[in-house]
Structure 1
Amino acid sequence: MTTHLVTGASGQLGQLTIAHLATLVDPASIIALVRSDEAAARFAAQGIQTRRGDYKDSASLAAAFAGVDRVLLISSSEMENRVAQHQAAIDAAKAAGVAFLAYTSVLRAPENPMILARDHAATEAHLRASGLPHTLLRNGWYIENYLGSAAQALASGQLFGAAGTGRIAAAARDDYALAAAHVLRGGHDGAVLELAGDDSFTMADLASALTDLAGKPIAFVNLPEAALAQGLVQAGLPEPMATILADADARSGDGAVFDQSRILSRLIGRPTTPWRSLVAKALAPQQA
Structure 2
Amino acid sequence: MTLLVTAANGHLGRLVVDALLARGIAASDIVAGVRTPAKADDLSARGIRVVEFDYARPDTLAASLDGVARVLLISGTDADRVSGHRNVIDAVRAAGVERLVYTSAPRVDEIDYALGADHLATERAIAEAGVDATILRNNWYTENYLDAVSRAAETGVIAAAVGDARVASASRKDYAEAAAVALTTDDLRGQTLELGGDVAWTYDELAAAAGEVLGRDVAYQPISIEDLTAGLQQAGLDAGTAAFVAGIDDAIARGALSQTDGTLARVIGRPTTPLVDGLRAGLNR
If the length of structure 2 is used for normalisation, what is the TM-score? 0.94
- 1:1-288 equivalences under 5 Å are 2-24=1-23, 25-78=25-78, 80-187=79-186, 188-283=188-283, 285=285
Name the CA distance, whole Å, in 2 between partners of 1:64 and 1:228: 43
SS at match of 1:22: helix
Q: Is the 8 A contact 2:209 2:275 kept in 1?
A: no
- Give SS of 1:102's match: strand
Q: 1:255 to 1:38 in 2, by over 3 A?
A: same
Residue 159 of structure 1, CA deviation = 1.1
Among the aligned pairs, what percent are the same residue?
Answer: 40
CA distance in 2: counterparts of 1:214 and 1:81, whole angstroms: 37
Tell me, in whole angstroms, the C-alpha distance in 1 between the residues paired with 2:38 and 2:240.
31
Q: Could you report, residue by residue, the CA deviation over 1:103-123 in whole angstroms, capped at 9, with x for unpaired residues?
A: 000112222322100000000
Once the two structures are overlaid, the 10-residue window that deviates more, 172-181 or 199-208, is: 199-208
Aligned partners of 1:66 and 1:97 also within 8 Å: no
- 8 Å Cα contact 2:53/2:60 also seen in 1: yes
Q: CA separation in 1, counterparts of 2:223 and 2:18? A: 39
Cα contact 2:213–2:276 (8 A) shared by 1: no
Q: Kindly tell me: are residues 264 and 235 of structure 1, through their superposed partners in 2, closer, same or farther at Cα, counting changes over 3 Å?
A: same
Bigger drift between 263-272 and 42-51 goes to 42-51
Structure 1 counterpart of 2:260, which letter? Q
Deviation readout 1:119-160 (Å, 9 max, x if unpaired): 000000010010010000100011111111111122112210
- 8 A Cα contact 1:67 1:97, kept in partner: no
Report the Cα offset of residue 279 of structure 1: 1.7
Task: Determine if contact 2:27/2:46 at 8 Å carries over to the other structure.
Answer: no
What RMSD over aligned residues (CA atoms) do the two structures have, in Å?
1.5
Structure 2 unaligned runs (5+)?
Answer: none
AA matched with 1:8: A
- What SS does the aligned partner of 2:62 have? helix
- The separation in 2 between residues aligned to 1:201 and 1:216, in whole angstroms, is 20
Judging changes above 3 Å, is the alpha-carbon distance between structure 1 residues 54 and 283 closer, same or farther for their aligned structure 2 residues? closer
- Per-residue deviation at 1:64? 1.1
| CA drift at 1:215 | 4.5
**Gapped runs of 5+ residues in structure 1?**
none
For each residue in 1:4-31, what CA deviation from the matched residue of structure 2 results, as whole angstroms up to 9, or x when unmatched?
0011111110110011111222221110
Count of matched residue positions in the alignment of Structure 1 and Structure 2: 283
CA shift digits 1:86-107 (9 cap, x unpaired): 0010001100111110100011
Contact 2:204 2:220 in 1 (8 A): yes
Structure 1 stretch displaced more, 192-201 or 239-248: 239-248
The verdict on how the C-alpha distance between 1:12 and 1:216 changes in structure 2, with shifts beyond 3 A counting, is closer
Shift of 1:234: 2.8
Deviations 1:213-232 (A, max 9, x none): 44443221111112112222
1: CA distance, partners of 2:135 / 2:34: 22
Deviation at 1:50, TM superposition (A): 1.5
Paired with 1:107 and 1:265, the residues of 2 have a C-alpha distance of 16
SS at match of 1:84: helix
Q: Secondary structure at the match of 2:47?
A: coil
